Amino acid sequence: METRKWTFHPCGNYRERYDQELTVFETDFGRLWAVLGLVLLFGAVPFASSPYFIHILNMTGIAAVAAVGLNILVGYTGQISLGHGAFVGVGAYAAAVLATRWNVPFLAAVPAAGLVAAAVGMVFGIPSGRLKGLYLTIATLAGQFIIEYVLVHWESVTQGTMGITVPRAEILGWSIGSDRSFFYAIYLVLAGMIWMAVNLMRTRYGRALVAIRDNDRAAEGMGIPVFPYKLLAFGISSFYAGVAGALWAYYLVSITAEPFNMGLSVEYIAMVIIGGMGNMAGAVFGAVFITGLNEILRFVTEVVMNMGLLSEYGLNIAPLREFTFGLAIVLFILLEPRGLAEVWRIVRSSFRLWPFSY
Amino acid sequence: MDFFLHLLVSGLSIGFLYGLSALGFVMIFKSSSVLNFAHGELLAMGAFLFLALVTWAELPIALAFLLTLAGCFFLGFVIERLFLRPLIGEPLIFVIMLTVGLASMFKGLLLFIWGGNLHTYPDFLPEWIGITLGNISVPPVYTAVLAVGTVFLILFGLFFKFSSQGIYMRSVADNQRAALSLGVHVKRVFALSWAIAALVAGMSGIVLGVINGINVHDLSAIGLKVFPVVILGGLDSIGGAILGGIIIGLLETFTGGYLSPSLKDVVPYIALVVILMVKPYGLFGLKEIERV
């Protein structure tokens, strides 16, 4: 039996076999860090942080699930979608309806909500069979408005503007109501979803999606059925959105259609772009960045309000949030279009190569 | 019958407004193939600039109007220079997202200064330009809009058809690289088209403000209404934008009048999906969409 050789330092890009190209971790160093990170995340973080901070972490985790899904569609398949927020809404409502009407348990409701959202997402992905680029973007925009309308007006199911109150989540008779136990639920799901996404991209399906992004005509010429694969990408990304929405519904207990608007869709796209398109870690970075930015802005406006400055303007968080948010998107696109993931890579390699710059 | 006529007239006028607001959008697409998600905010910028000049600086209306147009022209120029020029040749998603970011920035800025409330201009249109047709009266605002809109429309049609800059714009939109190699100053064309588009947007913003009052949220929602309009008319056709606007306006008012008022806001988008499936290049658009 061949003994496994531990590698801690990569020596260039020399590869002999295809499976070396496909490895998730290039060195065991990365593997070690990943394990350490997971241990810290689950073992230390929930106990070391205040309830408020855990709440922020939970919202970040939910956003990250949705962003990873959107990254599959936007970053890997090259289809711009402005309707992701609505699909999250579909997932949230699906979970809420399943839980209240049919008493579906938490463990079944979350994936079921994902499937419902995937089905809806694939319906709105049908235009991708005929359209590309700009036109597809507009089609998903229309999807956003139509879904929003349905969520508000299909009152027999969604209870209109009243919203739905979701029962407390239970796993095998074990109630998870507190922020801390939800932290475990959300981050276990997130870890599983990232694991799935990373590995999906290493399969023939993932490679086909990347091929479509890079050059769809060449992909078609190589025998990839472009339209089914595009639909598949829509389905997968909406599945992620649906799972995120279901977690959202269970975590926040009561849902209305209001938060699932165009602004949320833009927020998700911003996460993907700011984090780095076509990079799984990037989607998580983006989720952390945007949720963190929101919290910091909320804090800043509160401080400013308490100091009594600007009070005659009736300043509230909305304008400041909106402005900073737009500014962040614009600056990232202009200065670092490959996002935080690229920044992280540069930092890492400058440590590794120190004291040489190359 | 009166109800029908009433709906018809209000549909036509709302539609004409949509078409007018879509003009600047088409302008940008026609010359640089950029979808401008900040179009509603550009309208709002023009409307609020006019508001500031009329109520704060208390300038005469005509002067304020001209200054607003000049200001919007300059604004468009600055936007292009600061934000869009670095993106020439970059992938589409960056350009789209940049305009989304700009929209968010502008909206935040306007909300910060004016808040989310409804503002109105002082009355300045004379009563006599209103028209009364039997039982239906057309308020003076609409006739003024019709006049201003028609003048702008003819001017732009002529501009694109005959002026050298207009022809450059069309050539750049058609094929950037070919236009470059034939000696067209592509950067100048971009700058000019953004400036003109912002000018048109400012004008439509003022018009909308006169009719419905000015509110940041409403005006930026108009920026999203523009999509069904221009898709129906064809993304790069000025006449198409007007016709598309009128069709969408009629569709909206008749749905609101006969079916349900709440369906009114979503029906343009349903129409949008249908159009995209059936005739993606719209009524007058160039058939250049690639089928997959």
Nearest CB neighbour to B108, from listed A220, A314, A323? A323
CB contact under 8 A, A142 and B104: no
Residue with tokens 């909300």: B111
Closest residue to A145, CB basis, from B112, B266, B289: B266
Within an 8 Å CB–CB cutoff, is residue A320 touching chain B? Answer: yes
Q: Where is average pLDDT lowest: A218-222, B25-29, B105-109?
A: B25-29
In this predicted model, what pLDDT tens digit does every residue of B46-92 receive, in sequence order?
A: 999 998 888 887 778 888 888 998 999 999 999 989 888 888 777 77
**CA separation (Å) from B122 to A346, B53, B213?**
57, 12, 10
Alpha helices in B33-174 (DSSP H): 39-51, 61-79, 92-114, 140-162, 164-174
Q: Which of A340-354, B112-126, B255-269 has the lowest mean pLDDT?
A: B112-126
Q: Hey, of B105, B260, B275, which one would you mutate to test binding to chain A, going by the most A CBs within 10 A of its CB?
A: B105
- pLDDT-derived band at B292, boundaries 50, 70, 90: very low
pLDDT tops 60 at residue B289: no
For residues B6 and A145, the model is more confident at A145
B259 close to A (CB below 8 A)? no
Residue A205 has φ and ψ, to the nearest 5°, of -65, -45
The radius of gyration of chain A's CA atoms, rounded to the nearest angstrom, is: 21
| Out of B1-10, B41-50, B104-113, least confident range | B1-10
Q: Which residues contact A180 (CB under 8 A, 6 or more apart)?
A: A46, A51, A54
Q: Which residue of chain B is at minimal alpha-carbon distance from A81?
A: B93
Whether A317 contacts chain B with CB within 8 A: no
Residues B99-116: b if buried by 16+ CB within 10 A, e if exposed:
bbbbbbbbbbbbbbebbe
What's the pLDDT score for residue A68?
Answer: 93
How many CA within 13 A on the CB side of residue B261?
A: 0
Mean pLDDT of B125-141: 67
Asked if A142 and B277 come within 8 Å (Cβ–Cβ), the reply is: no
Rounded to the nearest integer, the mean pLDDT of chain B is 82
A155 touches chain B (CB under 8 A): no
Contacts of A323 in chain B (CB under 8 A): 104-105, 107-109, 112
Q: Do B276 and A127 touch (CB under 8 A)?
A: yes
Nearest Cα of chain A lies from the Cα of B4 at a distance, in angstroms, of 26
Across the interface, do B266 and A330 touch by the CB < 8 Å criterion? no
CB contact under 8 A, A319 and B108: yes
Give me the residues of chain A with pLDDT under 70, please: 1-3, 8-13, 173, 308-317, 357-358
Cα distance between residue A253 and residue A109, in whole Å: 14
Interface of A with B in 259-288 (CB under 8 A): 262, 266, 269-270, 273, 277
Token pair listed for B16 = 């004409």
**B266 or A162: which leads in pLDDT:** B266
What is the predicted pLDDT for the residue at A126?
A: 84
- What is the per-residue pLDDT across A45-94, written as a single tens digit (0 to 9) for each? 778 878 888 889 999 999 999 999 999 998 898 888 888 999 999 999 99
- Count CB-CB contacts under 10 A for residue B3: 9
Pick among A70, A134, A226, A313 to test the B interface (most B CBs inside 10 A): A134
Residue numbers in B near A216 (CB within 8 A): 292
Q: Is residue B272 less than 8 Å (CB to CB) from chain A? A: yes
Express each pLDDT in A180-197 by its tens digit: 888 888 998 999 999 999
CA trace torsion B121, B126, B127, B131 (10° rounding): -100
Mean pLDDT computed over B106-127: 79
Give me the total of CB pairs closer than 8 Å, taking one residue from chain A and one from chain B.
Answer: 147
Q: Hey, which residues 5-34 in chain B have their CB within 8 Å of chain A?
A: 33
> Do the strands A174-175 and A170-171 form a parallel or antiparallel pair, or are they unpaired?
antiparallel
Nearest chain A residue to B268, by CA: A142
Of the candidates B206, B256, B249, the residue with the CA atom closest to the CA atom of residue B18: B249
pLDDT at B16 (0 to 100): 84
Per-residue pLDDT for B244 more than 60? yes
pTM: 0.87
pLDDT at A67: 93
